[in-house]
Amino acid sequence: MSSLQNLPGFRDFYPDTCAARERVFQAWREASLACGFAQVDGPPLEPLELYQKKAGDELLGQVYQFVDKGERSVALRPEFTATLARMAGARQRDYKKPLKWFCIPQVFRYERTQKGRLREHFQWNCDILGEAGLGAEADLLAVLVLGLEKLGLTADDVVLRLSDRQFWTAFLEGKGMPAEKHYEVFQIIDKLDREPCEKAQEKLGTLAGEIFDIIEGRTDVLATPAGDRLRELKGALEAMGLGAYLKIDLSIVRGLAYYTGIVFEVHDRAGVYRAVAGGGRYDHLVEKVSGVSLPAVGFGMGDVVLGEMLNDKGLNKPETSRLDVYLALPKEEARPALLELAGQLRRGGLRVDYPLAAAKLGKQFEAAEDRGAAYAVVVEGPLAPGAKVQVKHLASRQQKEAVLAAAESGWTFEPKLSSLFVSP
């Protein structure tokens, strides 16, 4: 491997991809805050034990683990939910319930890298802890949809596939299957879209026919008593105006072991990509991790599949960091004046840059345009509040006079540069 190559499944973020990533994070943050979620974070490295027997064998098999210099078995977090369960259990008394927490951690999974699957990704998590009723599910799905809408996606682009593990639990109990066998069935259902149908049929045995009738919609699940909860949640989501996003789809059971109730995934309508997001209710995980009983529901949305979708739909329009003002320097003698002006304008709230070393004036103006600066100011000598300065609007090539003024924490222009020039 050449020293210029990164590890398979790991990404470098250059300014354009970093700006795209920031736009996604911004949308996630805005949606979370709009719905009353508070941001949290935790350590990227955790005791391996935190994931053992809680997340399920599939996730555990993907954990990056090693023994640290203090002989502890540790793991790079493959998800945030176990950390969240530990954090909530440890400090739940300090906060009023329900806890509504969000975070955007980078998580690591040693998976086969393929389209939509890398070995690290950023994952928006929203979780509501301390509320056992379906109102939590409805609020959680509302924030999820808002996050997608803030990025320009609509019900024409994505579908929210809604299911309920309790429905399946009731079904399997009705068939006399002991509880410890249920997760095996969930895993068979979870892999249906990745494994040949005959193999699943063979594994499901005599139950295969009825299970396929439910999954393929030949049984009207909402008309059965076990479908009550899905019906109620569907009603709440419709009342929130989210009906167009919904599809009741009992083939969703989710691979992770800790889910106990409603589960869901978000997919693109065309079914081209892997899941954009997934989550559900996990009422026993906090207790298993911390000994404190706290019902919970949450989801994770990764940036990889989402980024592919936004790119393909032409919705990836990151704003590259623009400069407000580029300070040009015709003579090196004026550099101290330029440095003072740059510092004062930056403190005053403008995005300002300047040549770091002597350069021809023409080259400096080229640099200003390259950097996307809106305005240029040629600095020829010391300036102070009250001084008149010539400001060039680079897009229209117009030049106008503005006055430097002292702002609260630095200097600014009077009038504001954006009102001095009419955009062409």
- The interface region with ligand HAM, picked from 32-40, 97-105, 110-118, 226-234 by CB under 6 A, is 110-118
Nearer to ligand HAM, 311 or 390 (CB): 311
Task: Give me the phi and psi of 117, to 5 degrees please.
Answer: -130, 115
Contact between 139 and ligand HAM by CB under 6 A: the answer reads no
DSSP state of 55: S
Q: Which of the residues 60 through 79 are near ligand HAM (CB under 6 A)?
A: 79
Q: Write the interaction track for ligand HAM spanning residues 213-252; mark x where CB under 6 A is met and - where it is not.
A: ----------------------------------------
CB 219 within 8 A of CB 213: yes
Q: How many binding residues for ligand HAM (CB under 6 A)?
A: 24
Nearer to ligand HAM, 74 or 276 (CB): 276
Contact between 162 and ligand HAM by CB under 6 A: the answer reads no
The span from the CA of 350 to the CA of 162, in Å, is 47
C-alpha angle 34/36/41, rounded to 5°? 105
- The interface region with ligand HAM, picked from 157-165, 208-216, 245-253, 277-285 by CB under 6 A, is 277-285
CB of 124 to ligand HAM, least distance (A): 9
Dihedral sign, Cα of residue 114, residue 194, residue 106, residue 322:
positive
The only residue of 277, 310, 402, 417 in contact with ligand HAM, by rule CB under 6 A: 277
Nearer to ligand HAM, 44 or 410 (CB): 44
Contact between 137 and ligand HAM by CB under 6 A: the answer reads no
- The interface region with ligand HAM, picked from 179-187, 232-240, 269-277, 307-315 by CB under 6 A, is 269-277
The only residue of 54, 75, 81, 147 in contact with ligand HAM, by rule CB under 6 A: 81
CB 145 within 8 A of CB 243: no
> Are β-strands 375-378 and 158-164 bridged in parallel, bridged antiparallel, or unpaired?
unpaired
CB of 255 to ligand HAM, least distance (A): 7
* 3-class secondary structure per residue, 288-334: HHHCCCCCEEEEEEEHHHHHHHHHHCCCCCCCCCCCCEEEECCCHHH
- The interface region with ligand HAM, picked from 213-221, 278-286, 388-396, 403-411 by CB under 6 A, is 278-286
The span from the CA of 109 to the CA of 24, in Å, is 21
Nearer to ligand HAM, 265 or 324 (CB): 265
Query: What single letter denotes the amino acid at residue 103?
Result: C
CB of 88 to ligand HAM, least distance (A): 11
Q: Please name every residue paired with 262 in a beta bridge, in sequence order, or none if there are none.
A: 164
- The interface region with ligand HAM, picked from 88-96, 183-191, 298-306, 353-361 by CB under 6 A, is 298-306
Matching residue, tokens 């994070």: 25
Directed axis angle between helix 303-312 and helix 15-34, to 10°?
Answer: 110
| Element housing 17 (H / E) | helix 15-34
Contact between 98 and ligand HAM by CB under 6 A: the answer reads no
C-alpha angle 288/294/298, rounded to 5°? 90
Q: Please name every residue paired with 399 in a beta bridge, in sequence order, or none if there are none.
A: 392
The only residue of 121, 161, 165, 234 in contact with ligand HAM, by rule CB under 6 A: 121
Contact between 32 and ligand HAM by CB under 6 A: the answer reads no
